[in-house]
């Protein structure tokens, strides 16, 4: 019995030395020991760990037969019972990144096996699966193999040394997993915040404890040429709903949006509308929901011919704690519905 850490390595057809794109449809297979890049990794790991098996699958096969691939990987891992799964590195190969991420998800969530991988941060596999693996940052192409492997070996060694309790992404040099961990610190939050602020004011370097997510940009849409002929819709993240919140939109981290008719509604009356939002004091919005969703004014403008018409449905969700990813999905669906209904302009209100 050796007490080396037993590793299974996941590779695609290319890095598994089976072939290129023409072999991308090969199904999952299991090999003994290390293969290809795995051999180099094995050497870097020395006495501490050993790649006992390699799982190889074509990228196309994996992505087209995702359920089958998942269950096969799971069965193989259950049989081999490794201490750690290593996947890739996938660089910026999209399908490979998804395959490595999916393998990581299965290993971590279904079998409790930790995963080390390598990826280029803009590979969608990172965003999709970042919480399931310790991903080291690699370059966007396989030319970066020479530094990716030592980086991965370093994390694996640290993992062994610390008995699986890796420190923060910055300390261990892996990409953030978006996982928040409670820790005890000497100094209270207010003092830390003031110190940070002072550093900022002095234009010195400081390290935030809560990095803001990165937002992308969109080109401004063209202006409306003739408002008198334009159908305008109202959308809100302020949680305005018909009284009783019929679809049970959550007061925070909303899992859905609502679509409600404004047919014949001239103003949002207190008896019929309220807010489901749990992130602000609801008293004012409950008394008069026009304060969040200005239906009364829009009706006036419609009557006066300032706008063509008010779309007869409004869309609503609760912005409170709702993830960027979910908001994106809701808004995509809302936009599709608005486009289908011939809406040209949108007033979106946020609390």
Partner 1 sequence: MVKEIEKAGLAVVHVATVVPISKTVGANRIVPAVAIPYPLGNPALSESEEKKLRRSIVEQAIFALETDIDKQKVFSGEKEEAF
Query: Which residues are at the interface with partner 1 (CB under 8 A)?
Result: 212, 215-225, 227, 230, 232, 235, 237-238, 280-285, 287-288, 290-292, 294, 296-298, 300-301, 306-307, 317, 319, 327-328, 330-332, 334-336, 338-339, 343-351
Nearest one of 221, 246, 224, 229 to 316, comparing CA atoms: 246
Tell me, rounded to whole angstroms, the distance of Cα 43 from its chain centroid. 34
User: Minimum distance between the CB of residue 232 and partner 1, rounded to whole angstroms?
Assistant: 8
Strands 273-275 and 84-87: unpaired
Q: Cβ closer to partner 1: 133 or 334?
A: 334
**The two three-digit tokens of residue 62, written as one number:** 């994996």
Residue 314, Cβ neighbours under 10 Å: how many? 22
Residue 192, Cβ neighbours under 10 Å: how many? 13
User: Minimum distance between the CB of residue 28 and partner 1, rounded to whole angstroms?
Assistant: 36
d(CA 182, CA 186): 13
Q: Is the peptide bond preceding residue 104 cis, with omega within 30 degrees of 0? A: no
d(CA 171, CA 75): 34
Question: How many residues comprise the chain?
Answer: 351
Q: Cβ closer to partner 1: 185 or 223?
A: 223
The SS3 assignment for 203 reads coil
Q: Cβ closer to partner 1: 82 or 258?
A: 258
Helices assigned H by DSSP within 182-294: 189-201, 283-287
Q: Cβ closer to partner 1: 156 or 331?
A: 331
Q: Cβ closer to partner 1: 53 or 236?
A: 236
Query: Is the four-CA dihedral 270, 271, 275, 278 of positive or negative sign?
Result: positive
DSSP character at residue 138 = -
d(CA 118, CA 152): 7
User: Minimum distance between the CB of residue 257 and partner 1, rounded to whole angstroms?
Assistant: 9
User: Minimum distance between the CB of residue 199 and partner 1, rounded to whole angstroms?
Assistant: 20
User: Minimum distance between the CB of residue 258 and partner 1, rounded to whole angstroms?
Assistant: 13
**The two three-digit tokens of residue 206, written as one number:** 């400081």
Q: Cβ closer to partner 1: 198 or 348?
A: 348
**The two three-digit tokens of residue 139, written as one number:** 């370059």
User: Minimum distance between the CB of residue 235 and partner 1, rounded to whole angstroms?
Assistant: 7
**The two three-digit tokens of residue 189, written as one number:** 């939050």
CB 105 within 8 A of CB 129: yes
User: Minimum distance between the CB of residue 260 and partner 1, rounded to whole angstroms?
Assistant: 17
User: Minimum distance between the CB of residue 39 and partner 1, rounded to whole angstroms?
Assistant: 46
Q: Cβ closer to partner 1: 123 or 344?
A: 344
Q: Cβ closer to partner 1: 155 or 307?
A: 307
């Amino acid at each position: 019995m050796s007490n080396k850490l037993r590793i299974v390595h996941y590779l695609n057809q290319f890095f598994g030395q089976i072939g290129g794109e023409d072999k991308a449809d090969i199904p999952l297979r299991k090999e003994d020991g290390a293969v290809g890049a795995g051999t180099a990794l094995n050497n870097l790991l020395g006495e501490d760990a050993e790649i006992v098996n390699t799982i190889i699958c074509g990228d196309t096969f994996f992505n087209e037969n995702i359920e089958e691939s998942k269950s096969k990987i799971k069965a193989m891992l259950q049989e081999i019972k490794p201490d750690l799964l290593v996947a890739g590195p996938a660089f910026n190969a999209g399908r490979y990144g998804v395959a490595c991420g999916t393998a990581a998800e299965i290993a971590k969530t279904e079998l409790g096996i930790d995963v080390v991988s390598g990826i280029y941060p803009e590979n969608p596999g990172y965003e999709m699966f970042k919480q399931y693996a310790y991903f080291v940052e690699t370059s966007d192409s396989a030319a970066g193999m020479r530094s990716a492997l030592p980086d991965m070996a370093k994390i694996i060694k640290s993992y062994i040394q610390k008995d699986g309790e890796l420190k923060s992404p910055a300390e261990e040099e892996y990409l953030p997993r978006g996982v928040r961990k409670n820790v005890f610190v000497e100094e209270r939050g207010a003092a830390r915040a003031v110190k940070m602020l002072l550093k900022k004011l002095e234009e010195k370097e400081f390290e935030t404890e809560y990095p803001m997510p990165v937002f992308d940009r969109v080109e401004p849409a063209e202006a409306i040429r003739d408002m008198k002929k334009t159908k305008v819709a109202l959308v809100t993240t302020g949680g305005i709903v018909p009284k009783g919140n019929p679809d049970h939109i959550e007061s925070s981290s909303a899992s859905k949006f609502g679509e409600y008719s404004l047919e014949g509604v001239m103003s949002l009356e207190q008896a019929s509308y309220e807010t489901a939002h749990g992130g602000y004091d609801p008293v004012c919005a409950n008394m008069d929901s026009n304060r969040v969703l200005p239906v009364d004014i829009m009706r006036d403008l419609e009557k006066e011919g300032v706008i063509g018409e008010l779309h007869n449905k409004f869309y609503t969700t609760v912005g409170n704690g709702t993830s960027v990813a979910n908001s994106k999905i809701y808004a995509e669906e809302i936009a599709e519905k608005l486009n289908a209904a011939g809406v040209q302009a949108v007033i979106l209100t946020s609390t």
